Homo-oligomer: A and B are copies of this chain.
């Protein structure tokens, strides 16, 4: 319906900006805030742009107060003038987004205690940084925003950053604990102080500072950023009787229509269904919001587009580390009652001999009964995201381990090893099912075990692995020196990346050892020992 009259109402003054780029404006990677508001060819996406280019009218600084579904009217108030007005609609779209979760015990209206949600937050924060007012920052919440801001504050501005999370590890929605621990270790090497398992107990503000009260003690900072997550802005929907889900988001069908056929909803205010777990959840991701918006527009224009269940692909860059995930974590897969199997692997992202090849560390989660793929998560300085994106495509087709072995990657040494990491992970998982070569988590306790470190003597010498009793027998010598090992011990093979140790395990099994296992991903993935 190109002839439809479209009216957009927003309570803020800035519209249509790249909110996900805000941390990079704060960090200085993006100098001018207008970059986040421009089209790629340099035109600001302001109301005038939408009017002339798209024939869409936009009213800003106006709060919608109520929806009268029977009369098909909305009541608005101008946040500038306080003036009220009623507007009628044929079709209504709710794109109210989500708001930062407020914790109790936090001073209200403080200039030093901020959330980071709308563009004005980023503008204010950067001003303070430029004035040199921020030397020490507390970040409450180790999710995407918290981790990105840790980099923003630390990298360019040299501020001291203390990050708090109530959960046992950071990024719990996308990383299992052993993976998150490794990322935490990396964050620490970048100078970030981290306190996990450390719920906020309160905050006070004085002229000079903000005091953060936690289980781990009191912390005095110049600024505190609240980034403990968001909740859907579904208040308007609730008030007018639309169906809202357990996660607090508006319930929509796959055409993005709410329980009222004349009202659609899209973005962070709705709930989506997870393709793998089947559960309804709120998943505030810009990429999903974009797709949903397009579907609503298309359907109101007479189209028939559907928004299917999601696998929840997400990525975050933290300093030089790439972190990404899709599907279920081990924890969420167990929660969804799959028969969960896991394998880990450390790989170079390009051919190992190619200059600039970097390691990536991946964890594959699958169902042991059906061989179905359930999730992939990874971190590392190398190309993690590509593998997650390919995996997401397989997930969406209910892929199985066999599909990883059948995948084709566009191979050349600058892009991938000849045998891609996903292929190798698939093999490791199949070997665990078919041959019992089961991997141990890199986080496993090594007490009372005999560790067979099958790295070369050189590797062992450079970085000795000495958690418990360790014997260094290089992989190339395992066949001949296997008899040196006493058969009455529980053995754990370990190498740098998990390949030689898995192979050694098989050789030792041939030689009659039955009590052998290996550490997935190798020493590179063991938190507090690994490389990064």
Contact = CB atoms under 8 A, between A and B. Distances in A.
B43 A324 contact: no
Contact of A406 (B42, B325, B396, B418): B396
A358 to B, nearest CB: 13
A410 B323 CA distance: 10
B392 A353 contact: no
Interface string A477-490: 11110000000000
15 contacts: A2-B507, A18-B351, A21-B413, A24-B353, A24-B355, A30-B353, A35-B353, A40-B352, A42-B458, A53-B479, A287-B408, A294-B427, A313-B410, A386-B386, A390-B392
A494 to B, nearest CB: 13
A354 B317 CA distance: 12
A316 B412 contact: yes
A351 B287 contact: no
A394 B397 CA distance: 8
Given A24-B355, A288-B408, A389-B410, 6 more contacts: A29-B355, A38-B353, A385-B410, A392-B410, A396-B403, A396-B406
A52 B480 contact: yes
Interface in A282-320: 285-288, 290-291, 294, 303, 305, 308, 310-317
A381 interface: no
A465 to B, nearest CB: 14
A20 B413 contact: yes
A409 B389 contact: yes
Interface residues of A, number: 93
Interface string A20-43: 110010000110000110101111
Nearest 9 Cβ contacts at the A-B interface: A393-B393, A315-B410, A287-B411, A313-B410, A40-B352, A35-B353, A386-B386, A313-B408, A53-B476
A453 interface: no
B35 A414 contact: no
Contacts of A397: 393, 397
B41 A419 contact: no
B52 A410 contact: no
Contact of A351 (B21, B49, B325, B386): B21
Given A291-B405, A312-B408, A325-B410, A418 B352 contact: no
A225 B286 CA distance: 50
Counting every copy of the chain, the complex holds: 2
B308 A353 contact: no
B287 A476 contact: no
A2 B415 contact: no
Contacts of A18: 351, 353, 413, 418
A36 B411 contact: no
A388 interface: yes
Interface centre among A24, A144, A288 (most CB of B within 10 A): A24
Contacts of A414: 317, 322
Given A326-B408, A389-B386, A420 B287 contact: yes
Interface string A397-430: 1000001011111111111101110010001000
B386 A408 contact: no
A372 to B, nearest CB: 14
A218 B380 CA distance: 52
A96 interface: no
A348 interface: yes
Nearest to A49: B476
A496 interface: yes
Contacts of A41: 455-456, 459, 496, 500
A475 interface: yes
Interface centre among A42, A49, A286, A353 (most CB of B within 10 A): A353
Interface string A418-453: 111001000100000010000000000000000000
B412 A20 contact: yes
A450 B326 CA distance: 48
A112 interface: no
A21 B476 contact: no
Given A52-B477, A353-B18, A285 B43 contact: no
Contact of A409 (B144, B287, B407, B416): B287
A415 B317 contact: yes
Interface centre among A308, A413, A476 (most CB of B within 10 A): A413
Contacts of A434: 303
A363 interface: no
A209 interface: no
Nearest to A510: B2
A42 B419 CA distance: 18
Contacts of A388: 410
